[in-house]
Structure 1
Amino acid sequence: MNEHTTEESGRLRAHIDLPALRANVRALRERLTGGAALMAVVKADAYGHGLLPCAREARAAGAAWLGAATPEEALALRADGDTGRVLCWLWTPNGPWRGAVAQDIDVSASAPWALDAAVAAAHATGRTARVHLKIDTGLGRSGCAPRDWPALCAAARAAEATGAITVAGLWSHFACADEPGHPSIAAQQTAFTEALEIADRAGLRPEVRHFANSPATLTLPATHYDLVRTGISVYGLSPSPEIGTSEDFGLRPVMTLRAALAGVKRVPGGHGVSYGHQYTTPGETTLALVPAGYADGIPRHASGSGPVLVAGKWRTIAGRVAMDQFVVDLGGDTAEAGDEAVLFGPGDRGEPTAEDWARATGTIGYEIVTRVGHRVPRVHHGETRT
């Protein structure tokens, strides 16, 4: 168990199946082509699963790289004793560039100011900064605009010549790899090929070229290059129902969210339930109180739609989700306070999955797991290191 779990935290827990995470990493590695290595992306507290335990297990299963969005995440990995390759990509001008370079963290640059920051950090620390140049091939978020790419490559090569940096990587990110056949996929592949050619003419010889996210890793082997960046698939969720289910790819969901019922009572027909009385009991029935709400990350828009396994059956949230609790109508079934309610899990015990919640609430599985709040203890099972 995770050391942060306490006896008082039994109302709601996120159980994290670390053997499943390791198996997912191994299954993803088996799909790689051309000798590509795997990066396990552990941003956003490992997609809500717990940054440090999941990072350790991904390493144990053969992840050659870890990926972090924020510098704080990357530095936390180093503080935990991780000495392998870590890439951090979400930078601002006043970020801890010096600390990252001092800790041998690979950094990303999409513009001259970021390259200058990496060079300054290298000078300040006396270390060579490892930089990954990012090209915007069509996602329209971070990344150098194609018209500015030749100048950025030239500036990076000049900085390399001084010994301040080494261009360790060239990379980009897909916009629609989770939508098979989307025209942007081929367009982005062409743009990336052109960007690599420009970098080569500028004299850059990167250690790794990387483009593939989880959906591209699973469905576009030509985009594996030297490294793939797998995020949601590490945690056993499919990036999109359109490309296949978790089971289709040999992946197992890692998180199971369980609660202990906080109360059970009989009420008459016509009884209003939760704020606004959006649900009224159709007849005499049994109501069960689940002590989880939007402060824990349960979507408020799951009101009247979120699925829960209680007393051996799927139930639907009755009425509005409140800050700390919601209600399910058990009909003619019975339960007792303390009985288990399973909000989502792998699905092999009949419980809903995160994808079921995503469908019920009009979102994606990524959001369901990452929004589980910090007041919900993570209980990590099957760690290889204690």
Structure 2
Amino acid sequence: MDFNDSLEEAAFRAEARTWLAAHAPAHELPVGAKMPDTEEADRGRAWMRELYAGGWSGLTFPKALGGRGLSGIEAVIFAEEEGKYHLPKGPFTSIGTGMALPVIAKHGNDEQRARFIEATLKGDITWCQLFSEPAAGSDLAGLRTKAVRADDGSGDWIVNGQKVWSSWAHLTDWGILVVRTDPTVPKHKGLTFFVVDMKTLGIETRPIRQISGASEFNETFLTDVRIPDANRLGAEGEGWACCMTVLMSERLGSGAHRSGIEPLLDFAAATPDGHGGTMLDDRSIRQQFAEALAEEQGERFFQARLRTMVSKGENPGALAGMVKLAYASRYQKTNGLALELRGLAGIAPEAGDTATGNVQYDYIYSTVMRIAGGADEVLRNQIAERVLGMPGEVRMDKDVPFEKLKG
């Protein structure tokens, strides 16, 4: 596989760089700035509108749905160039473009695709993910939020339950929701997938204060929430297949386009070593950088391989988990290295040292990535069993109806 740009790809990259140079700087977030989440959300919407207006949003979606009908490789090239700017592209925007739209595109009907895809690309609709629960995180199929048909003949569903770790749920417009609709079958088979308006009566979000000081995660309570059957994606009982589409997209996109080494090199070059030079002059530091860079490049090339599979209509399956597993480990390791470079300042930076403050935040947040989108241990099990063909763990609940499982 050739990882260098073809002539056509090089021309596309140059076009993307030119457009981004003209439009991205006005939307970049100030380095070290702390802002209300409402302002960050507004900035995210503004950047999505800019992308859409410039023809750079939803590159792989058909033109009829607001995209450009381009290949996956071109989308990767643009994302690589976009990743060079510090833009408002966190979960507030990426859950919509990277999770909601892939599952709607694959499992939704024509009416749902027409309703949600272009509006999301424009920034008119933002999304949250309503998957994890207090007792169903790594074992998502053990979720207990349930939906039953309304008894008034409308065909609507009545949902009751609780979700947790719902990023930006307090500010987003819609949610992708998986619930249990049939407890009489094994846990993976009785799930159904919906999209839900977050302003629906009976939905309550409670922000969770995190160790970083931010509150982007939420508890979400659903009490007698009525959802029209028209908001169901896929058939009743096909919720697990929809979840796998979402999780594959999330894992395949983990750390895809922003280098963790380039800013680290700049950070080391700006950190004195106490002997008249910088930390970049230290041989052991350069060795660690070289190892981290090799890991990053290997992951980038492997990711390109999997994206090529997707562009050909193939399903990477558990291979996508390898991308997320590698990225989460590397992200934590490189941020830890950055703190070590700062010495005591890494523990107690001086006032105004926003660079170190940002690294501290990233290091704290890096622990999240070892769990979000699939815990390390779960991904290792999947890779061992489905990629390497090793014997599976004994699962006593595999063929047991969910209602007969002990809580």
Of the two, which has the highest radius of gyration? 1
Same fold (TM over 0.5): no
Larger RCO, structure (CA 8 Å, separation 6 or more): 1
Q: Which has the higher helix share?
A: 2
TM normalised by structure 2 equals 0.28
TM normalised by structure 1 equals 0.29
